C-alpha cells in the first residue's frame, strides 16, 4: 500500500512537470499529450491522496484502540489496587474493632492447642496422683515385705527386740526412732493378726 | 500519513490549475472562459475571507481550517499557473 502510494505521488508530480517542461506547446500533438498527462497527473494525485487519507484514518483508529486498551488496563490495575487496599483496610478495622471475635478465636485456638498437648503428653494434674499411687504401692509393698520378714522371724522364735534390731537396726534406748519402729512393729503384727 | 494525503491533494490542486491554464491556451474563447472562472473563484475566495465565521458553521469546520483551505487554494493557483506559464 505504501509503495503504491509513493509511486502514485511521484508519477503525479512527474506527469505534471515533465510534459510541460519537455514538450513544445506550439505542436498540436505535444499540446494534446500535455493535456492528457495533466489529466493523468490529477488522477494519480487524487488516488494517492485517497489512499493516504484511508491509511491515516486507519492509523487514527489504531491509535484510539491502543489508547483505549491502555486506559482499560490502567483503570483495571488502579481499580484492583483500590479494592485490595480497601479490603485490607476493612480487615484491619475488623481486627482492631472486633476484639470479642478475636478473643473468641484466640480462645478457640488455645483450646485446640491444649487438646493437642493433652493428646501428646500425659496430663500434669494426673502425674502427681500416679506418683503418689506408685509411692503408696511401694510403701505397701515394703510393709508387706516387712510384715513377711517379721512373721518369718517370729516363727523362728525371735523376740521383739531382736526383730526390731534385725529389721530397723535399732536397739532399745534409740529414742523416738525406736518408738516409731516399735509402733510400726505393733501395727504390722496387729494387721497380720487381724487379717 | 496525514501530511502525505494533504500534499497529494495539494499537488492535485496545482495540476488542476495547470490544466486550467492549458485549457486557456487552446483557444481565445477558452481563455475568456477561464478568466471568467478565475474571476468567479477570486470573488468566492474574497467572500469566503469576509464570511469565514458563517461559512465555517455552514461547512462544519473550524475557522482556522477554512482559512488554511483558502490560503492553500491560493497557493495552488499561484503554483499551478506559475508552473504552466514558466515552462
Q: What share of chain A is helix, strand, coil (3-state, %, to 5)?
A: 85, 0, 15
ipTM field: 0.86
Of B2, B11, B84, nearest to A20 by CB-CB distance is B84
Cβ pair B81, B23 in contact under 8 A: no
Q: Is A45 in contact with B1 (Cβ distance < 8 A)? A: no
Highest mean pLDDT among A99-103, A126-130, B2-6: B2-6
Kindly report the number of other CB atoms within 10 A of residue B56's CB atom. Answer: 17
A16 touches B at CB < 8 Å: yes
Tens of pLDDT, residues A152-174: 888 888 888 888 888 888 887 76
Q: Which residues of A112-123 are buried (b: 16+ CB within 10 A; e: fewer)?
A: eeeeeeeeeeee
Rg of chain B taking only CA atoms, in angstroms: 14
Q: Is B19 in contact with A38 (Cβ distance < 8 A)? A: yes
Q: Is A55 in contact with B1 (Cβ distance < 8 A)? A: yes
pLDDT at residue A130 greater than cutoff 70: no
Q: How far is B52 from chain A (nearest CA, A)?
A: 25
Evaluate the CA torsion angle B9, B10, B16, B18 in order and state its sign: negative
Tens of pLDDT, residues A39-85: 999 999 999 999 999 999 999 999 999 999 999 999 889 888 888 88
Of B12, B14, B16, nearest to A49 by CB-CB distance is B12
How far apart (Å, rounded) are the C-alpha atoms in residues A63 and A48? 22
Question: In percent, how much of chain A has pLDDT > 90?
Answer: 28
How far apart (Å, rounded) are the C-alpha atoms in residues B19 and A27? 17
Residue B20 buriedness (CB in 10 A; 0-12 / 13-18 / 19+) = buried
Which of chain B's residues have a Cβ under 8 Å away from the Cβ of A35?
A: 19, 22-23
pLDDT at residue A134 greater than cutoff 60: no
Per-residue pLDDT, A188: 78
Q: How confident is the model at residue A14 (pLDDT cuts 50, 70, 90)?
A: very high
Closest residue, chain B, to A57 (C-alpha) = B2
Q: Which three cell numbers stand for residue B85?
A: 506559464
Cα–Cα distances in angstroms (integers) from residue A181 to residues A45, A139, A168, in the given order: 137, 15, 7
Collect all residues with Cβ–Cβ distance below 8 Å to A48 and sequence separation of at least 6: A5, A8, A9, A12, B4, B5, B8
pLDDT at residue A131 greater than cutoff 50: no
Of B8, B22, B83, nearest to A17 by CB-CB distance is B83
- Residue of B2, B5, B31, B80 to mutate when probing chain A, most A C-beta within 10 A: B5
Place of cell 491502555: A70
How far apart (Å, rounded) are the C-alpha atoms in residues B77 and B35? 13
pLDDT at residue A125 greater than cutoff 60: no
Residues of chain B with pLDDT under 70: none
How far apart (Å, rounded) are the C-alpha atoms in residues B19 and A163? 156
The helix (run of H) or strand (run of E) holding residue A101 is helix A99-120
Average pLDDT over residues A86-97: 83
B62 touches A at CB < 8 Å: no
pTM over the 0.90 mark: no
Amino acid at each position: 500500500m505504501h509503495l503504491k502510494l509513493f509511486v502514485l505521488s511521484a508519477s503525479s508530480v512527474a506527469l505534471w512537470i515533465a510534459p510541460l517542461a519537455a514538450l513544445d506547446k506550439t505542436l498540436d500533438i505535444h499540446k494534446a499529450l500535455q493535456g492528457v498527462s495533466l489529466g493523468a497527473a490529477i488522477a494519480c494525485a487524487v488516488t494517492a491522496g485517497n489512499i493516504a487519507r484511508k491509511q491515516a484514518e486507519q492509523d487514527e483508529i489504531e491509535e484510539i484502540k491502543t489508547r483505549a486498551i491502555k486506559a482499560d488496563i490502567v483503570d483495571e490495575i488502579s481499580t484492583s489496587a483500590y479494592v485490595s487496599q480497601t479490603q485490607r483496610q476493612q480487615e484491619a478495622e475488623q481486627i482492631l474493632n472486633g476484639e470479642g471475635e478475636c478473643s473468641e478465636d484466640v480462645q478457640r485456638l488455645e483450646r485446640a492447642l491444649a487438646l493437642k498437648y493433652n493428646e501428646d503428653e500425659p496430663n500434669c494434674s494426673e502425674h502427681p496422683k500416679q506418683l503418689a499411687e506408685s509411692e503408696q504401692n511401694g510403701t505397701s509393698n515394703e510393709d508387706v515385705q516387712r510384715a513377711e520378714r517379721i512373721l518369718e522371724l517370729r516363727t523362728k522364735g525371735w523376740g521383739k527386740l531382736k526383730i526390731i534390731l534385725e529389721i530397723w537396726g535399732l536397739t532399745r534406748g534409740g529414742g523416738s526412732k525406736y518408738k516409731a519402729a516399735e509402733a510400726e512393729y505393733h501395727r504390722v503384727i496387729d494387721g497380720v493378726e487381724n487379717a | 500519513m496525514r501530511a502525505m494525503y494533504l500534499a497529494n491533494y495539494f499537488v492535485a490542486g496545482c495540476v488542476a490549475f495547470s490544466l486550467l491554464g492549458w485549457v486557456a491556451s487552446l483557444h481565445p474563447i477558452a481563455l475568456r472562459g477561464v478568466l471568467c472562472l478565475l474571476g468567479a473563484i477570486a470573488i468566492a475566495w474574497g467572500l469566503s475571507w469576509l464570511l469565514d465565521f458563517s461559512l465555517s458553521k455552514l461547512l462544519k469546520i473550524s475557522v482556522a481550517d477554512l482559512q488554511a483551505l483558502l490560503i492553500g487554494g491560493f497557493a495552488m493557483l499561484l503554483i499551478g499557473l506559475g508552473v504552466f506559464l514558466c515552462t
